[in-house]
Amino acid sequence: MSIPADAIQAVAEFTARLDGLSDAKTKAWWEGYMKGVIPFRGIKMPVLRAELLPWWQERVAPEGPAFEKAVAASFFGSTWSEDKLAGVLAFEHLAPRLAAADLAAFEAIFREGLLFDWNNTDWFCVKVLDKLVRRDIVFARPIAGWTAQPDAPLWQRRAGAVAFVNVAKHGSQPPSSPELWELMWTAARNNVRSPERFMQTSVGWLVRELGRADQDAALAFLAEHRALLSREAARYIVERLPAEVQTAALAG
């Protein structure tokens, strides 16, 4: 992914402002919680957002949409977790103005290994991809399609399912959106083939929420894919169901 030098410079200007906002306790807690997978500055999200958005309006937005997208993408090249989260928040701000062609930049972020932990990946799903798949099926199709790419990075394939968790939670189902409904089930069927924990949890979360609208379909998925599902994923699938249904399903 090629980032213009002026976008890289703008990000450097912003991240220099973050040095004085770090909190040692927050840093220690997050690095312990994430088991050292990624370093943290020690800045909570509300503080980061409050610093980012006014700066964005003053420094970045006046330069136009192409520059805004380049700056948002440039944040992901940083070592620090909060800098990547700033990129998430930037793309969240831009989400209403993104087009399907912009998904290529997201794929590049995953392909180049710039999103490689569950925390930032899942924030990206919740704050950016969720908004896009709700907006239009032209986003939902390719995002769900990430799960069908065996050579795509694990985190991209996880995102192809987790992006739909909140959509499923709020009852997208036939006949109101049959294509979206099928895309979500297909994403679950694709990811269940991978034994990695974060792939399995993406399936458990998604099927759990799909089961709100169709309990029988969720139980059928569990029965059909029992040999592929981890115990953790299976428990997620049934955890919203009545206790007696959970017991029977997990014992079956």
Using 50, 70 and 90 to split pLDDT, how confident is the model at 170?
Answer: confident
CATH 1.25.10.90 in the chain: give the residue spans.
Answer: 117-252
pTM of the model: 0.95
Per-residue pLDDT for 175 more than 90? no
Mean pLDDT over each residue of the chain, to the nearest integer: 95
Say what the pLDDT of residue 172 is: 63
Say what the pLDDT of residue 50 is: 97
Pairwise CA distance, residues 42 & 27, whole Å:
4
Using 50, 70 and 90 to split pLDDT, how confident is the model at 171?
Answer: confident
Instruction: Please tell me which residue, 194 or 177, carries the higher pLDDT value.
Output: 194
- Return left, alpha or beta for 42; rule: phi > 0 is left, psi -120 to 50 is alpha, else beta: left
Could you read off the pLDDT of 111-133 as tens digits, one per residue?
999 999 999 999 999 999 999 99
Q: How far is CA 127 from CA 38, 91, 193, 215, in A?
A: 20, 8, 27, 27
Say what the pLDDT of residue 2 is: 79
Angle at 25 between CA 23 and CA 26, to 5 degrees: 65
Average pLDDT over residues 11-39: 96
Q: How far is CA 35 from CA 27, 29, 155, in A?
A: 12, 10, 17
- Out of 3.20.20.10, 1.10.1200.10, 1.25.10.90, 3.50.50.60, select the CATH number for domain 117-252: 1.25.10.90
Average pLDDT over residues 185-193: 98
